[in-house]
Structure 1
């Protein structure tokens, strides 16, 4: 059965903004501070390692999207280049992982915003549900409206990060500057290779928003050119931003004393004093988190759309609106899953689960990229091979109970897939 296709509204700048919008929130405002606490003065090297791993995986995604530009990302690539088991597993993992990430971002939105207005933290879950509902309505307005909103969110989120970073570097005292330049030996000696690579694994997860560009393949203009360029541009801008923020964090008290634990303290706002800078960071973080949620609703809904088209999910999820600018039922389904997880979710557990599922997802991405015919390739197979090895290696830095739960989740999904196909 032929399906209606979504309209190709998104240009190269819009695609780059999609990638940045999916990265800047939880990545820059939470993860880098946590990675700095773990790896200290080596955080800049951890960022570069994570960037290399992300580049390998991003180029594999770009290679696949260029030769098979449809909505669904690795879910579709798995079907096209591997088999239905790999394709279904990728879609199953993506929907779960990114729904959990969206729910986490919605809950984190309250952690930033409620204290700023002196409101009780008991409003965190209702606020998260309201945010998800409002952004669901926005996404159903189509890509043109979503792209305009995303532009505003990304500009504000990145601007706040730049202001924070420049202020932190400029306000540092002489002792902090000397530690940054000399890579304090006592701190370096206390960091083992496992902690260092663990922080790199954490930072890799903070890069993976570029995958949203590939999942939007059906709505991108001239996808064979636009998608690869957008992924590369997103990775370059993100790496520069992460290095700036990481370098700035080394000039704060975090480098010398750590943050002391706690969800609220693992954020940049914990490193600012009361005043204008705190307001800038709070607004920037809140807006960036809205951008993350917006892009996750878009990405997850498009994978649900693809799964509905193949019959892996109910056929109703594959229905488009009258003008073919949105897929309302898939957006409703994605938002509903996110809202349920917002009611039940735990921020730390959701992040670890997302790490496991993302690494498995990109392992399948690289396996699929290795199957692309030689005449259609624009990247060497070595890039995809390095991406595959890095994904498999980093999985072993995930907590064992999360690893076990992730494997069980995959098994349940495969059982569902088997029963669906049996007739």
Structure 2
């Protein structure tokens, strides 16, 4: 008789194309879908992410119940609670999706050690990326350090087929589902809860995906840098929590020829994940060390965080982050470049601030991009010039993005909105710039 299988959910909160869940279902009908609310994770999670998580778990429970099982929720150390669940169910295997952060690697290592001591096997499956991080290796190296050759290898790689959602599952006798997390768990998080954050869950994510593929995806190549158009997918949080399968999304988008520029962005996501897998300290230390004299300017950093630098395009981006728990990708680049290249504040402080607020906050993507901008990461031109005002005029020429998030400049005409401090009719309640840009 096949013994039950534990499926440990982490950031793969879906039933569609879930290889770990599909493999458990293929072994036998008794499956324990488990999610552990780990205080060590909640304490350093943005409140926006915790709010999304609560909604995603409720939706996942509904999907698993429709498949015949339920979501078993426990609180405590993930490994300890997984061991308890395995003992209680008499499980002989634990399945989970392979992940790349230092925390995830440590968790998987401790789980394997516990399995050896307790008598259950631990199996890791793909699902967090389109192409697993170790599947593409350059000659003589353990990972790709430059995107373009990675992109070529990524395009040529044979992708696996998506897994259908399971059905006919059942929990072992006596397995209690446990309550979903309440609002009180958000108190443990970082940052503020943004009033216009995106809602969580697989059903909402799949609806957003269908809308994106039917509409905006085809125009992504031309419009994705237009700040005012807001022509990006808004699927980043859904991918971060695994409410969408990145593989399913990439395969669907690749079927639309005009969506190739968007598919390239999914490859960038995979690229950062394989970098993080090889260099787990990506969020703490320079990937490519450089001699940079960073400044400890707390007042300038505080002004940047609050969107009060006096540089409209920077302030618009930072205020979008506060309001939505999200920032347009071009604005992320602009605000990060301003902090690291103009204010000379360390990239880690900026990355940590983003991570404390972003609903889509992901170690590999967030810090990989911050290091790229700062010149310590995977950019082959680490000393490239970057003019904030030129970026503002190019990607928000009429100033509509600025007006959307900086209401003090609502009446400022387009020809003056990028540099309102140089106008004789300055907005009285808008600050002067931290320096003359």
Query: TM-score with structure 2 length normalisation?
Result: 0.25
Q: Going by fraction, where is strand more abundant, 1 or 2?
A: 2
Higher relative contact order, chain-length normalized (CA < 8 Å, sep 6+)? 1
Q: Going by fraction, where is helix more abundant, 1 or 2?
A: 1
